[in-house]
Amino acid sequence: MRVLVTGASGFVGVNLVEALLARGHEVVAMSLDAYPGPGRMTEIRGDTTDTALVERVMREHRIEAVWHGAAITAGAEREKREASRIVEVNLLATVRALEAAARAGVRRFLYPSSSAVYGNTAFESAGPVSEDAPLRPMNLYGITKVAAEAAVLRLAPALGLEACAGRINAVFGPWERDTGLRDTLSPHLRLAGFAKQGKEAILARGAERDWVYAPDVADAFVAMLEAKAVPPVAMNISMDRLWPLEIMARALPGLKWRYAGEGEEANLGYGGPIDRPRRALPPALIKERLGWSPAHTPESACADFARRLSR
């Protein structure tokens, strides 16, 4: 299958390109900056807000499926400075890419959404958060993801495309780095930085998350691409259980770490509030519909990531 991957230089994008190439697919990797990973693919530098370019790429390369991952993962400061740009990239460019895909004869359009769509819902009440839970995003990034996934799932069938969205939970893993478009790096990568600097990490108690490993996320989208048919729904992509960051801390040789004492704060971000327990976002729907479940446990994912970081 010929697949266009936008946002291909982002770390989830790189993992997806690697997984697609390993499965024998032809990949066109499009991004603002150079693709950093290995493999033989067609690389195109460009901005996905340039709809004419996006459509030309789809037509010239006879694209059959699109994974539209180009996005700005904005923190609070960037929201103040670049609100219009964030909406343009995350929402408007997504709708325009979908329309371009329909005109170019693309068959399937996959949208990588985010657990940020749940917002406060993931930190209130108890029990797992299913895909039909209320969407209450806490920031502009989450707001644009809610709107974009809803637009894709609404418009794609009307335009003659198959579409599906995957709500990626807090993700970490290979190829993560500061690209200038992702303001919040995973605490796992930050722990690795602490280890290199000889800096002590102070972890928060009771801040377990169902972090998911990037290669598993890539495999989930490969399952969507290769399925005979995909349901026009949004599905959670996450680990099956909540787990503590201590597992990553223990996997990094030489890292000095401890839990915060009473009245003391953690010295790295967790990607959300840590004063309230996080509810799990089980991948029940994607397991039921497509047979996907993460190949890694928290322990094996952290061990693998630590090995890769040490190379």
**Which sequence positions are flagged as catalytic?**
141
Which tokens sit at 121? 């819902």
3-state secondary structure of 162: strand
Q: How many C-beta atoms lie closer than 10 Å to residue 154's C-beta?
A: 11
Q: How far is CA 103 from CA 59, 111, 302, in A?
A: 9, 18, 43
What 3 state SS string does 130-160 have?
CCCCCCECCCHHHHHHHHHHHHHHHHHHHHC
Note whether 37 and 14 are within 8 A (CB). Answer: yes
As beta bridge partners, residue 2 has 26
Note whether 148 and 40 are within 8 A (CB). Answer: no
CA dist., res. 251 & res. 310, Å (int): 11
Which tokens sit at 60? 């010239």
